[in-house]
Amino acid sequence: MMASYPSSSIHLTCLRCPSGSPCISSASPFLRFFNSTIPGPYLKKHPQILSSKPPRRRSFVTSTSTRTQMAATEEKPISQDRMLVFVPPHPLIKHWVSVLRNEQTPCPIFRNAMAELGRLLMYEASRDWLPTIMGEIQSPMGVASVEFIDPREPVMVVPILRAGLALAEHASSILPATKTYHLGFSRDEEILQPTLYLNKLPDKFPEESRVLVVDPMLATGGTIVAALNLLKERGIDNNQIKVISAVAAPPALQKLSENFPGLHVYTGIIDPTVNDKGFIIPGLGDAGDRIFGT
């Protein structure tokens, strides 16, 4: 039995690509985004780099409903009370999602594909989000104006065990300064409800923290909602969180949209349905089992 969740019940916002055309997923009419990030904490070696600068954000979107074909409409400011879902259009993301889908992919390659997909999604999510420092340094040929990521404000990475470990594997290579806190959930396969078995979150997060929550599969939404509620209890607002997932489905996105306005979700692809056992269809199977060969 397959439970169908019509995407038209989820109202999100589509961000325009730099080309000016709407970013439309071939699998689902949700959102996409482009990216960049610059590594390099050099405060100790370059004390003259002192002025901090807040992260920049794009300021215009196209408002739409998933009932439409996302035709071009007039631009309007980003709504701060609407959850946004981004499906980046990069061909490498499509490639690694395809490798993950293949039932013939062996465990080592599956794990590597998950890690590479996580690297790309975190790269996408970090655009216009990281605090930067501007200043001047001496290059071999002269004085140069420079901009670095501010290492005094590390990004918190929260992988949800087990499978989140692989998706977050390259976080430290993407982000110059990170702290990692682990959450472990198991899911009752009968009632499809999560049970927390490991919580390494701090009692209180510093103000202005930026948190990447990494969970490969957003299916029924029980686990990710429970994880975000733990973050909110520790002082994190919705707009301080970005969720990274390999595959998402409408039930989870609906719950997130209802409970966490202003949240941003970055996923490799959105699949249409979840079956009665809580698995995304077509999905990629049990991500934890395929990563660890169990």
Angle CA 247–9–236, to nearest 5: 60
Instruction: Please give the pLDDT value at position 75.
Output: 42
Confidence of residue 79 (pLDDT cuts 50, 70, 90): low
Checking if the pLDDT of 29 tops 70, the result is no
Secondary structure E strands in the chain: 2-4, 13-14, 51-53, 60-63, 75-77, 84-86, 132-139, 142-149, 155-161, 178-180, 183-187, 194-199, 210-214, 217-218, 241-248, 264-270, 273-275, 280-281
Using CA atoms, how far residue 99 sits from 92, 163, 282, in Å, is 11, 16, 13
7-35+63-130+154-292: CATH topology is Rossmann fold (3.40.50)
* pLDDT of 101 above 70: yes
CA neighbor of 257 nearest in space, from 70, 31, 75: 31
Question: What radius of gyration, in Å, describes the C-alpha atoms of the chain?
Answer: 19
Mean pLDDT for the stretch of residues 218-226: 93
Can you point out the beta strands (E) in 162-216?
178-180, 183-187, 194-199, 210-214
Q: Is the pLDDT of residue 26 over 70?
A: no
First-last CA distance in the chain: 25
- The whole-number average pLDDT for the span 30-40 is 31
Find which of 20-29, 40-49, 89-98, 203-212 is predicted with most confidence, using mean pLDDT: 89-98
Higher pLDDT, 176 or 248: 248
Residue with the bigger pLDDT between 148 and 47: it is 148
CB 242 within 8 A of CB 212: yes
**Confidence category of residue 268, pLDDT binned at 50, 70, 90:** very high
Q: For residue 128, is pLDDT > 80?
A: yes
